[in-house]
A = this chain, B = another copy of it.
Amino acid sequence: MTSKPDAILMHPIGYVHNSVREKKDSFWGDDTSVIRLHEEYHGGLLGLEGFSHATVLVYLDKARYQRDKHLQRHPRDREDMPLTGIFAQRTKDRPNQIGMTAVEILAVDKASLTVRGLDAIDGTPVLDIKPYFPAFDRRDARTPEWTDRLMENYF
């Protein structure tokens, strides 16, 4: 291992504003959220209106990763799910607690972005916004059998 700075410092580029006060486990598709950017990033959304979707990275500040509970667990604590490592799950209680969602773009202006489908509660800090390129999709990707059962009622 080469010597590396072990601590990484980040700052929110803005915050999520919506009417969601509590985390939900399942369907988020209908929620509308506004991401208001810090003033120093005003203008940074120029051209995003040409994209239909964006990937939003947020800091899940209410999540708490505890090694003994979360390093390996049964997804959603369901007995019928296999014991699974934290990096083989999308659950929020994870190291560095970064949330990642592809959202639909509804409106773009100098200081804010309005989206549909962001799975983050009101007040969540935003780390990054990236335009969505379907060319980077992995359409041939395979997932294990248990994920089908987990997501049965998701959509």
Complex CA gap A55/B19 in Å reads 29
Interface residues on A, range: 35 or more
Q: Are B15 and A4 in contact (CB under 8 A)?
A: yes
Please provide the chain A residues from 69 to 128 with a CB less than 8 Å away from any CB of chain B in the complex. 71-72, 82-90, 94-96, 98, 100, 102, 104, 113, 123, 125, 127-128
Residue among B40, B44, B71, B98 making CB contact with A44, cutoff 8 Å? B71
Q: Are A85 and B142 in contact (CB under 8 A)?
A: no
Q: Are A134 and B130 in contact (CB under 8 A)?
A: no
Q: Tell me the smallest distance from the CB of A96 to a CB of chain B, in Å.
A: 5
Q: Tell me the smallest distance from the CB of A83 to a CB of chain B, in Å.
A: 7
Q: Tell me the smallest distance from the CB of A119 to a CB of chain B, in Å.
A: 10
Q: Tell me the smallest distance from the CB of A18 to a CB of chain B, in Å.
A: 13
List the 5 closest A-B pairs by CB distance, nearest first: A50-B144, A46-B85, A47-B88, A48-B88, A87-B129
> Does residue A20 face the partner (Cβ distance < 8 Å to B)?
no
Q: Tell me the smallest distance from the CB of A11 to a CB of chain B, in Å.
A: 6
Q: Are A88 and B45 in contact (CB under 8 A)?
A: yes
- For A21, what are the chain B residues with a Cβ–Cβ distance below 8 Å? none
Residue among B4, B71, B100, B129 making CB contact with A125, cutoff 8 Å? B4
- For A34, what are the chain B residues with a Cβ–Cβ distance below 8 Å? none
Given A4-B15, A11-B8, A46-B83, the answer on whether A138 and B53 have CB atoms closer than 8 Å is yes
